[in-house]
């Protein structure tokens, strides 16, 4: 390129080429304090350069020297994966090109880059694109930080490293920061509670027991993302404790005499449906028998529970386990996001129809079965 000069008044100002302009911007950027923060209940704790911070450091300097930066995605590779909890997510890897163009001379330079990100929703590609763009700026202009995680210096207090298990951080220090994946985990925990009839208060109580919440925590929305993830992994134990608590709350004195089979009779549960009254469908105005039939079941007893540990069991299975009485008299449907799910409606109708059918069988037992109970 020629060393042609521009005349500005009586002062001769040499024209900078694109490389010189980039070098000039690089010299003008001091070390920066990182604005991004990542905190995890599992021990992750670091600060990072955000895309917005990288742009803010260079945008005006590039504009002053008439430099434009454009980014293009050259290729995209998407992997559909499943984590150890059975949750599906996408891992996206992209190849990119970042072109710096000099508005004064028309000179352009292209640098190649890459990005990778995972997400439980549809944001993996955008995250990967953001990361690639950020690092293209940071590496081109050699943006350095006061506490770079790759220098080998610990970001946390060295005292924290002495303990094999980091103590739980105070939960009231700052509000939860939720990524799209964390929001999906929160909704999953909320839906699981609704589907299994586990109250939010009980989930919070379990979180307090596990030191994942304080007495001031009143909603699962106040739980840290890491705590929500841990609670999802403890669902089986939470459900077991919930059922034990429900049985204890609804238990009267148990007859100490044993049945002929040698088993202690179940305690009579506290009924939600008043004694002598039949169950009533509350989830739909349709005829419950038609709902069961339209769902493809010849008998209400063939309908699966669809929730919790007994999700794959049918009402007939519950009848054989002597659990069906509890489901017909105690189980009540719960709304999720303002309405009832199809599984909830079907189970509500099936329990109602099954109770009616078994009541008729008790009134008119088959010949030779007069001594059998309707649940036999």
The beta strand positions in the chain, using DSSP E, are 5-8, 11-14, 36-39, 45-48, 67-82, 88-102, 108-119
If you count DSSP H runs as helices and E runs as strands, how many of each does the chain have, helices first? 12, 7
Q: Kindly state the average pLDDT of the residues 90-110.
A: 94
Are 244 and 356 part of one and the same domain? no
Distance separating alpha carbons of residues 226 and 351, to the nearest angstrom: 38
Residue 112 lies in a domain: yes
Q: What percent of the chain has pLDDT over 70?
A: 73
The 10s digit of each residue's pLDDT in 322-359 is: 677 778 878 888 887 778 888 888 888 888 888 888 77
Integer Rg of the chain from CA = 32
The 10s digit of each residue's pLDDT in 220-239 is: 888 888 788 888 888 888 88
3-class secondary-structure state, position 18: helix
Are 136 and 26 part of one and the same domain? yes
Tokens, residue 144: 């350095």
Residue 120 lies in a domain: yes
DSSP string covering 132-201:
HHHHHHHHHTT--BTT-GGGS--SS-HHHHTSSSPPPPPTTSSPPP--HHHHHHHHHHHHHHHHHT--HH
How high is the pLDDT of residue 40? 58
* Range of lowest pLDDT (11-20, 75-84, 274-283): 274-283
353 against 261, higher pLDDT:
353
CB burial readout 12-36, b (16+ within 10 A) else e: eeeeeebeebbeebeeebeebebee
Are 213 and 147 part of one and the same domain? no
Are 130 and 216 part of one and the same domain? no
DSSP string covering 338-370:
TB--HHHHHHHHHHHHHHHHHHHHHHSPPTT-T
* Range of lowest pLDDT (50-54, 96-100, 257-261, 275-279): 257-261
Residue 266 lies in a domain: no
Residue 6 lies in a domain: no
| Res 160 pLDDT > 80 | no
103 against 268, higher pLDDT:
103
Are 72 and 141 part of one and the same domain? yes
Residue-number span of the structural domain to which 337 is assigned: 288-363
Structural domain count of the chain: 3
Distance separating alpha carbons of residues 317 and 185, to the nearest angstrom: 32
3-class secondary-structure state, position 283: coil
How high is the pLDDT of residue 77? 93
How high is the pLDDT of residue 19? 93
CATH of the domain at 108: 3.30.390.80
DSSP state of 65: T
Would you place residue 132 in the very low, low, confident or very high pLDDT band (cuts 50, 70, 90)? very high
Are 209 and 313 part of one and the same domain? no
The 10s digit of each residue's pLDDT in 73-90 is: 999 999 998 888 788 889
Tokens, residue 327: 């489901």
Q: What percent of the chain has pLDDT over 90?
A: 21
Are 130 and 241 part of one and the same domain? no
């Amino acid at each position: 390129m020629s060393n042609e000069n521009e005349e500005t008044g009586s002062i001769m100002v040499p024209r900078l080429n694109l490389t010189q302009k980039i070098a000039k911007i690089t010299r003008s950027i001091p070390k920066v304090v990182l604005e991004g923060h990542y905190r995890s209940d599992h021990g992750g704790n670091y600060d990072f350069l955000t895309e917005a911070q990288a742009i803010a450091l260079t945008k005006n300097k590039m504009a002053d020297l008439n430099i434009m930066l454009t980014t293009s995605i050259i290729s995209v590779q998407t992997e559909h994966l499943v984590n150890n909890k059975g949750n599906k997510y996408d891992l996206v890897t992209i190849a990119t090109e970042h072109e710096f163009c000099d508005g004064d001379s028309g000179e352009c330079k292209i640098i190649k880059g890459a990005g990778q990100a995972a997400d439980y929703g549809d944001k993996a590609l955008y995250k990967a694109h953001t990361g690639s763009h950020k690092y293209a700026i940071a590496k081109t202009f050699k943006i350095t930080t006061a506490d770079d995680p790759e220098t080998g210096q610990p970001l946390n207090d060295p005292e924290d490293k002495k303990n094999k298990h980091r103590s739980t951080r105070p939960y009231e220090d700052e509000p939860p920061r939720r990524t799209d994946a964390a929001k999906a985990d929160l909704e999953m925990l909320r839906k699981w509670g609704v589907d299994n009839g586990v109250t939010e208060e009980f989930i919070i109580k379990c979180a307090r027991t596990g030191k994942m919440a304080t007495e001031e925590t009143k909603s699962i929305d106040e739980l840290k993302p890491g705590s929500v993830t841990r609670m999802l992994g403890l669902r089986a134990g939470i459900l077991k404790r919930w059922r034990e608590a429900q049985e204890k709350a609804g238990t009267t004195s148990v007859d100490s005499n044993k049945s002929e089979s040698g088993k202690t009779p179940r305690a009579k549960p506290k009924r939600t449906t008043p004694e002598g009254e039949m169950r009533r469908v509350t989830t739909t105005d349709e005829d419950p028998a038609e709902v069961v039939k339209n769902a493809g079941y010849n008998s209400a007893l063939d309908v699966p529970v669809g929730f919790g540990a007994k999700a794959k069991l049918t009402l007939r299975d519950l009848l054989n386990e002597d659990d069906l009485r509890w489901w017909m008299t105690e189980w009540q449907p719960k709304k999720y996001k303002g309405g009832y799910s199809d599984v909830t409606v079907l189970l509500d109708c099936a329990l109602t129809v099954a109770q009616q059918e078994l009541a008729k069988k008790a009134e008119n037992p088959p010949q030779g079965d007069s001594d059998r109970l309707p649940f036999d």
